[in-house]
Amino acid sequence: MCDARLDTSLSRRALMLAGAGVLTAAPLHSMAQVQPAAAAKTPDAALNLLLEGNARYVANQPRERDFSAGRASLALGQAPFAAILGCADSRIAPELAFDQRPGDLFVVRVAGNFVTPEGLGSLEFGVSVLGTKLIMVLGHSSCGAVNATVAALQNDNTLPGHIADLVRTMKIGIAPVLNQTGGDLEQQAVIANVRHNVEQLKQAKPILAAMVANNEVRVVGGVYDLATGTVTLM
């Protein structure tokens, strides 16, 4: 009889502890899933958050953060409000350039910031599963991949290894600017590359094109200036 009461007492205690664990975890899960999305319920709101963050970064006035405080909630889920298709250049870190926390941005990077099948699939996952409201194609000044593409177009040269594959893909968007006169060819090529890939994403079926048409997601282009840190919308 005593053993039965003891077993019952232990069982009740276990249930109470388990219930307390659920109650403790629930707010963290809610924070992970709702907090970033609540701050950017629309594509325009998401874009404003990026631009405000970039202004803080340029002014060297980032928000103070305790990274350890948010790790537990992030382990339970993510709800990034914006996705960045950026260049792999080591001088650019989107989370820093837009002064955002871990969990706020869904970042896809490849040298030359262009759309690949794998990158497209990643961005589709971001918008359709994670609820991302905005995609920004982020180019930058003095882009080595863009300059290599311009040189290849001008000199008809072939680059070694798989670097040639990067250039071959980027030629489509950059080639038209070689016929333009005046201006900074390097900057024009960077902008042309960004705009080309913005259009690629806007028209990407079956997921992105439909969501863009329904104003569920917005695709924009930006160029990061290495010298100042400023992101200018295209």
* Cα 124 from Cα 132, distance rounded (Å): 9
**Token digits for 76?**
């339970």
Domains and CATH numbers, the chain: 2-233 (3.40.1050.10)
Share of the chain above pLDDT 70, in %: 83
Q: Is the pLDDT of residue 43 over 90?
A: yes
Q: What pLDDT digit, counting tens, does each position of 45-56 carry?
A: 999 999 999 999
Q: Is the pLDDT of residue 8 over 60?
A: no
Q: What pLDDT digit, counting tens, does each position of 127-154 carry?
A: 999 999 999 999 999 999 999 999 999 9
Residue with tokens 């405080």: 69
Q: What is the DSSP letter of 28?
A: H
Name the pairing type of β-strands 134-140 and 82-86: parallel
Residues counted in the chain: 234
Q: 3-state DSSP call for residue 64? A: coil
pLDDT of residue 39: 64
* Cα 117 from Cα 110, distance rounded (Å): 12
Residue 169 near residue 193 (C-beta atoms within 8 A): no
Share of the chain above pLDDT 90, in %: 74
Q: What pLDDT digit, counting tens, does each position of 61-86 carry?
A: 999 887 887 788 888 899 999 999 99
Count of alpha carbons within 13 Å of 17, Cβ hemisphere only?
6
* Cα 149 from Cα 92, distance rounded (Å): 20
* Cα 119 from Cα 225, distance rounded (Å): 23
Give the type of residue at 110: V
Q: Rounded mean pLDDT of 33-59? A: 84
Give the type of residue at 94: P
pTM beyond 0.85: the answer is no
Q: What pLDDT digit, counting tens, does each position of 10-20 carry?
A: 343 333 333 33
Better-predicted residue by pLDDT, 70 or 177: 177
Q: Is the pLDDT of residue 2 over 70?
A: no
